[in-house]
């Protein structure tokens, strides 16, 4: 069977704008159905997947994923008439009665969440798709399927944790023999994900978008300063559940829609709300640190309790909270599990993948194999790249190499010389991380490199760390992990070995941690060859890829189009190419502070 999974609610933000036209722009993200995507599964195998934002260039868009669908179908040489099922990663039908309580809720269900609303979008953008082929998969069930059916395990514990599904914030499953048996659920009014997002908003960042920034800010703060506040806010129940009275305090329709009671409590009892243009001070850093510690504690409590109950030593995670690398690292270090797998597109884009996989499993076609590095998105032919480069012939100089080895050697030389290189190969990654096909690279031994790239390329907050990529053969030499530990998705933090922290200042965070990506020749041959070349040239294990959306819907040369961009090294099989701009000065070396913590076990 050919099953196309999709995610997102196009009408969610427009509905909120229509009914609450005077909100702060950031408040419109307190809504459901962002990060729309499409994924195609054919005969149980994942063929293609991409978030709509990578096509439309509208970050976190919830628009109906017409562009993502078009790519998936084109990649497989199919038309919409060839698709057996279109599966949406939400199913609000069982909760329809909940939305009958007031006129606004009824309209929200009818215009955004209902099957009729989805069918109207299908008819608009996919006129060849019959309504009887459109299916719905519960949101957390889709997340769970995305983790279990790509884990390669016959049996494991599956934990889905996010802001909310239709009505849940956490669902725990015992996965075995191709089945997902639900063990427990935590309702949305006790959502640790929503609490984390509300504090993110309170600190001046975007709800349902910037939570990773709080994770990056947290190591700069003192978690003890506001520890008592979050201990009182989140109660850990003996049965593994949690209660958050601070969220339950929202009782009226308006309070529940905007979490007004919760936000007022944060202002009165935590700190005043910070505006986005205000300075980040110690008090904001300390709140971030205490919030992250609360999430770490909650994840350990929740996963540990059900690990004990089921005696499972393997854990598969999905849902937006599963993108929190620090909490994942704490789980890894805890020793509770022998193996942890986090589905790399763990957010709502991944629910499109899960919806397709769940329906494929229901048809008896699933092949539960470990997902490799998810190069499932669009790629471009050499002719496309040549045409794009030709558009900028007056702004870039192009040099071609006969072999990949020559291109890697030249890129390594540039990196060793303090240059910043954009590395482009093959198909785009699915999920939020750049994993070697759309990566910005630099030598992690330069202490000024983080600030330099933040200012020159990413235009992002200076406190946010960069992530190292390292060949799997070298990972235990430089980081506190066991030999050959697999961390291919840049989704867990581990500690840099104390004796090497001064040598890797650009990727060593203030607490001595790093969000590592391991690279093997089996999963990513070209990137592995580049990293080995960098290691030989610089005597460091890796170059520092930025988790950025360098991918372009036209070609990689879009990165080179601006004079502010770094030298670009796109390399296609058989035709490695480099386009170059001006040379930047090599920064000096130095060393960051480096506290130590417990070494981790194994994860994938």
DSSP, res 41: E
Answer whether 104's CB lies under 8 Å from 117's CB: no
Range list of H helices, 77-158: 103-108, 115-125, 139-148
* CATH code, domain carrying 23: 3.30.420.40
Distance CA 135, CA 156 (A): 27
Pairing of strands 242-243, 314-318: unpaired
**Same structural domain for residues 71 and 136?**
yes
Is there a domain that residue 598 lies in? no
**Same structural domain for residues 398 and 514?**
yes
Helix axes 349-362 and 139-148, enclosed angle (nearest 10): 80
Provide the whole-model pTM: 0.90
**Same structural domain for residues 402 and 429?**
yes
Is there a domain that residue 182 lies in? no
In the set 34, 143, 284, 437, the catalytic residue is 34
pLDDT at 589: 34
Tell me the per-residue pLDDT of 189-238, one tens digit each, with 9 for 90 and over.
999 999 999 999 999 999 999 999 999 999 999 999 999 999 999 999 99
What is the CB neighbour count within 10 angstroms for residue 553?
A: 15
Residue 549's pLDDT band, with cuts at 50, 70 and 90, is: very low
Token code pair at residue 495:
């500690």
Tell me the per-residue pLDDT of 267-317, one tens digit each, with 9 for 90 and over.
999 999 999 999 999 999 999 999 999 999 999 999 999 999 999 999 999
Residue 582's pLDDT band, with cuts at 50, 70 and 90, is: very low
Beta strands in 226-382 (DSSP E): 235-236, 242-243, 314-318, 339-342
**Same structural domain for residues 331 and 352?**
no
Give the helix/strand (H/E) hosting 6. strand 2-7
**Same structural domain for residues 389 and 334?**
no
**Same structural domain for residues 265 and 281?**
yes
The yes-or-no answer on residue 265 being catalytic is no
Is there a domain that residue 128 lies in? yes
Answer whether 177's CB lies under 8 Å from 183's CB: no
**Same structural domain for residues 337 and 358?**
no
Is there a domain that residue 499 lies in? yes
pLDDT at 77: 97
Looking at the structure of the chain, the number of domains it has is: 3
Burial group, residue 365, by CB count within 10 angstroms (0-12, 13-18, 19+)? middle
* CATH code, domain carrying 399: 3.90.870.20
Q: Looking at the DSSP assignment, which residues form a beta bridge with residue 51?
A: 37
Residue 143's pLDDT band, with cuts at 50, 70 and 90, is: very high
**Same structural domain for residues 198 and 121?**
no
Dihedral in degrees, nearest 10, Cα atoms 26, 28, 30, 32: -140
Is there a domain that residue 597 lies in? no
Is there a domain that residue 374 lies in? no
Distance CA 133, CA 152 (A): 29
Nearest Cα to 566, choosing from 577, 575, 579, 553? 579
**Same structural domain for residues 305 and 391?**
no
Nearest Cα to 438, choosing from 507, 380, 484, 387? 380
Answer whether 557's CB lies under 8 Å from 60's CB: no
Q: Give me the domain span that covers residue 322.
A: 187-342
Token pair 């800010």 in the structure block, residue:
217
Distance CA 538, CA 415 (A): 8
Token pair 């868009």 in the structure block, residue:
61
Residue 343's pLDDT band, with cuts at 50, 70 and 90, is: very high
**Same structural domain for residues 353 and 390?**
no
**Same structural domain for residues 210 and 137?**
no
Is there a domain that residue 164 lies in? no
Is there a domain that residue 306 lies in? yes
**Same structural domain for residues 306 and 418?**
no
pLDDT at 320: 97
């Amino acid at each position: 069977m050919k099953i196309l999974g999709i995610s997102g609610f196009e009408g969610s933000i427009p509905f909120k704008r229509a009914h609450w036209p005077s909100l702060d722009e950031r408040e419109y993200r307190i809504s459901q159905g962002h990060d729309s995507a499409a994924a195609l599964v054919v005969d149980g195998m994942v063929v293609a997947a991409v978030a709509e934002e990578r096509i439309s260039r509208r970050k976190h868009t919830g628009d109906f994923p017409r562009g993502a669908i078009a790519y998936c179908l084109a990649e497989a040489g199919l038309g919409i008439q060839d698709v057996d099922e279109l599966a949406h990663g939400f199913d609000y039908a069982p909760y329809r009665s909940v939305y009958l309580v007031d006129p606004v809720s009824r309209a929200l269900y009818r215009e955004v969440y209902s099957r009729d609303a989805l069918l109207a979008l299908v008819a608009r953008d996919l006129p060849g798709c019959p309504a009887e082929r459109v299916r719905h998969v519960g949101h957390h069930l889709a997340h769970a399927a995305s983790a279990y059916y790509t884990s390669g395990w016959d049996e494991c514990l599956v934990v889905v944790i996010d802001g909310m599904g239709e009505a849940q914030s956490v669902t725990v499953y015992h996965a075995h023999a191709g089945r997902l048996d639900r063990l427990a659920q935590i309702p949305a009014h006790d959502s640790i994900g929503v609490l984390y997002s509300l504090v993110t908003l309170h600190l001046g960042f975007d709800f349902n978008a910037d939570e990773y920034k709080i994770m990056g800010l947290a190591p700069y703060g003192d978690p003890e300063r506001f520890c008592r506040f979050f201990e009182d806010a989140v109660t850990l129940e003996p049965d593994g559940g949690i209660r958050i009275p601070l969220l339950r305090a929202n009782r009226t329709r308006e309070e529940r829609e905007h979490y007004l009671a919760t936000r007022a409590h944060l202002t009165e009892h935590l700190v005043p709300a910070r505006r986005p243009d205000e300075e980040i001070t110690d008090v904001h850093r300390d709140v971030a640190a205490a919030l992250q510690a609360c999430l770490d504690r909650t994840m350990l409590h929740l996963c540990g309790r059900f690990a004990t109950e089921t005696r499972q030593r393997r854990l598969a995670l999905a849902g937006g909270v599963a993108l929190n690398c620090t909490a994942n690292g704490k789980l890894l270090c805890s020793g509770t599990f022998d193996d942890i797998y986090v589905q790399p597109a763990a957010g709502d884009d991944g629910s499109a993948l899960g919806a397709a996989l769940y329906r494929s499993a229901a048809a008896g076609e699933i092949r539960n194999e470990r997902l490799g590095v998810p190069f499932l998105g669009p790629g471009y032919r050499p002719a496309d790249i040549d045409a794009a480069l030709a558009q900028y012939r007056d702004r870039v100089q192009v040099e071609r190499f006969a072999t990949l080895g020559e291109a890697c050697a030249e890129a390594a030389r540039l990196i060793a010389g303090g240059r910043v290189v954009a590395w482009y190969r093959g198909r785009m990654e699915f999920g939020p991380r750049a994993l070697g096909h759309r990566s910005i690279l630099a030598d992690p031994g330069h202490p000024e490199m983080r600030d330099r790239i933040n200012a020159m390329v990413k235009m992002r907050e200076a406190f946010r760390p960069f992530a190292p990529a390292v060949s799997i053969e070298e990972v235990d030499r430089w980081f506190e992990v066991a030999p050959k530990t697999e961390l291919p998705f840049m989704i867990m933090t581990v500690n840099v070995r104390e004796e090497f922290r001064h040598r890797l200042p650009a990727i060593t965070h203030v607490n001595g941690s790093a969000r590592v990506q391991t690279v093997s020749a089996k999963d990513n041959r070209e990137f592995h060859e580049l990293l080995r070349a960098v290691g030989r040239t610089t005597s460091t294990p890796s170059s520092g890829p930025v988790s950025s959306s360098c991918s372009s819907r036209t070609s990689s040369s879009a990165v080179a189009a601006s004079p502010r961009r770094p030298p670009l090294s796109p390399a296609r099989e058989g035709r490695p190419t480099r386009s170059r701009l001006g040379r930047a000065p090599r920064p000096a070396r130095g060393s960051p502070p480096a506290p130590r913590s417990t070494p981790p076990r194994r994860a994938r």
